[in-house]
Chain A
Amino acid sequence: MVTEPRPTTRSGAGPTDAALVVAARAGELWAQEALYQRYARMVLALSQRILAGRDDADDLSQDAFVYAFTRLDTLQNPQAFHAWLRSIVVRTASKRLRRQRLLTRLGLRRNDPIEPDTMISSEAPVDVAVELRHVYSLMAKLPPEEHVALVLRRVEGMELLEIADEMKLSLATVKRRLASAEARLSRATTKRGQV
C-alpha cells in the first residue's frame, strides 16, 4: 500500500498527532486547525479518488473532519489519528454513496455520470490510464460498498486486511464484495474489448 506522504509541520518536527489530539480534546481550536492542516490534503485527495467528483469530495472531507473533531474523545489511541481519520473518510463515503443512490433511485437526485478522463493524470502510462478508465467507468453501476472496496483495492493499492480494517468489515465480507466488483469489472472490460 502506498499512502499519501505523511504531512508534517514546516519545521518537520512539529507536535505529534497525539499531542495535538490531546489539545484538541481539551477544546484548543489551534490544535484542531493544526490537525486539519496536517491531514487536509490526504483527506481531500482520498475523497476525490473515492467519489470521483470534486464538489462531493469537498463535502465529504468537511463531514469527515467535523465528525472526527466532534468525536475525538472516542479515539482510544491519539497517535493513531491518521488511520482513524482515513477510516472515517472511507465509512462516511460509503454512507454518502448509499444515500445518494437511494435519492437517485427515488428520482430525487440526478446521477451525474463520472467522466473518467477528467480523473486521469496526463502523466499516467497508457496501461494505467486504461485500467483507471475501466475502474471509474464502472463506479456508478456498483453498489456503494463494492465501489469503495474497489477503489481501495485497485486505486489505493491496499491489502485486503487493510481494507477490512478501514471499512470496519470482516475479511470475508471484503473478499465477497471485491470478488463481485472484480467480476463486474472483468465483464465490463471484456465487453469494451469486444466493442
Chain B
Amino acid sequence: MTEPSGSPLSKYVRVDVSPARVARVWAGVSSQLERAPSGRRRWLYRGALATALAGVAAFGAFKAVSDHQARSAWQKAALETAGDAMAVGLDDGSRLELAAHTKVRVVGNDPQSMALDLDHGRVDCDITPRPGRHFAVAAAGVVVRVKGTKFGVELAPGRDRVNVDVERGLVEVSWQDGAQHRDLAAGERWSIDLQHPEATAPASEASAKVAEGPALAPAEASADAPAGASDGAKGSTTAPHPPREAAAGARELLDLGNAARRAGDAAGAARAYEELLTLHPTDGRAGLAAFELGRLKMDRLGDVPGAIQALQKAVMMAPGAGFREDAMARLVDAYARKGALERCRSARSAYLSSYPGGVHASAVSRQCQGR
C-alpha cells in the first residue's frame, strides 16, 4: 500500500465553519432535540439504514450497474419493515415513511409516474408536487392518487379495510377498478370495508351522505380505524382529523424546501422557498427561505439574477439573523459574477462596514476588481 505523503492534507481542504453556519446547524440540532422525546423520529431515522438493507435484500435483480437496469430492478422492488419503522427520501424531495410491519412494492417508477402497492401495514407519503408526474399508492384494489402533498394509506391486518387520511393537499381515491372515486382534502379521513365496497360513498356525494349515516355503515370508521377517526365518522366514510393545519404553512414549506434540498432536488426546493416567500412574506422564516433560495440559485441553478433578488430579500428581511453576514458576502459575489461592478462595490462596502473582521472579509475585499 502506498504511504500517504508526510503531512496531513486536511488543512488544505477548504471548509466553511463560519459562525453563521454553526448557528444554522445548531438551529437544526436543537429543533430535532425538541422533537426527540417522542422517540418516533429516532426510530424513523434509525430505520433509514434498514431501508437500504431491506431494499437491497428485496432487489433480486439489483446486480445491474447501469441506470437503466437499476431502474428496471427498482420496479420489482419491495420495501419491508419488521419491528422498526423506516423513512425513505426520494430524489424529488418526496418522503415515504413505512410504519413497522409494513410491505410496499414499487410497481412503477418512471419520469411520468411512481406507483406503489401496499401489501400490508401503513405508509405515509409526503409528496413534492411535480407537474406532469403522478404518484399513486394501491392497497387491495383501492388506489390513492396524489393531487397534493401529504397523506397516509393503511391496510388493516385482516386485509378487510383500507384507511386513508390526508394531512395536506388533495388526493383522489378510487376503488372497484376505478368505477368509484372521490377526492379527499386536507384534514379528511376515509375508510372502506373491502367486504362491502359497493356501499362506500362515491365522489362528491360523500359530504351529503355523512349526514345520512346508516346507508354508509359498511364503510364507516370502525374500531380498527386509526384513533381520532371515530367521533365525527360514525356512519360515514369520511371524518375530520383532530385539529390539524390544513393549508401549507411557512414551517411546512420551509421543511419541504429543506427536504428537497437535502435530496438534491434544487428546483423543487427553490419552488418551496419561493412559495413561502409569496404566501408568508412576513413570517419569521421568510429571511432564511430567501437565503436558502439565493444559495440554490447561485450554486445549483445557475440563476445569478434570481440569486441576487433572493439574497437582497434575505438581507432586508432578517437584519439580526446569523446568516445575514453570509447573505451579504454572497451578494457581493453574485454582483461580481453578473459583472455589475458598481453594485458589487457598493455591496462590498456594505459588507465591510457591517463586518470589518468578518469571516468573509478577505474574500469580499478581493471582489469587484474589474474596471
Q: Could you list which residues of chain A lie within 8 angstroms of chain B, going by C-beta atoms?
A: 1-2, 29, 32-33, 36-37, 40-41, 44-45, 48-49, 54-56, 58-59, 61-63, 65-66, 69-70, 95, 98-99, 102-103, 105-110, 112, 118-121, 123-125, 127-129, 131-132, 135, 153-157, 175, 178-179, 182, 185-186
Contacts and interface: CB of A to CB of B under 8 A. Distances in A.
Interface stretch (B49-57, B139-147, B148-156, B214-222): B49-57
A157 B4 CA distance: 7
Given A105-B70, A107-B70, A110-B91, A124 B25 contact: no
B208 interface: no
With a 10 A CB-CB cut-off, give which of B8, B42, B90 has the most chain A CB atoms. Answer: B8
A77 B24 CA distance: 29
B2 A182 contact: yes
Contacts of A107: 67, 70-71, 74, 91, 109
Contact of B21 (A2, A37, A58, A66): A58
B256 interface: no
Contacts of A32: 33
B17 A132 contact: no
Interface of B: 1-2, 4-5, 7-17, 21-22, 24-26, 28-30, 32-33, 36, 42, 45, 48-49, 51-52, 55-56, 62, 64, 67, 70-71, 73-74, 77, 88-91, 109, 261-264
B13 A132 contact: yes
Contacts of A58: 21, 24-25, 28
A32 to B, nearest CB: 7
Nearest to B4: A154
B33 A118 contact: no
A153 B4 contact: yes
Contacts of B51: 99
A36 B91 contact: no
A185 to B, nearest CB: 8
Contact of B55 (A40, A95, A102): A102
A54 B16 contact: yes
B29 A36 contact: yes
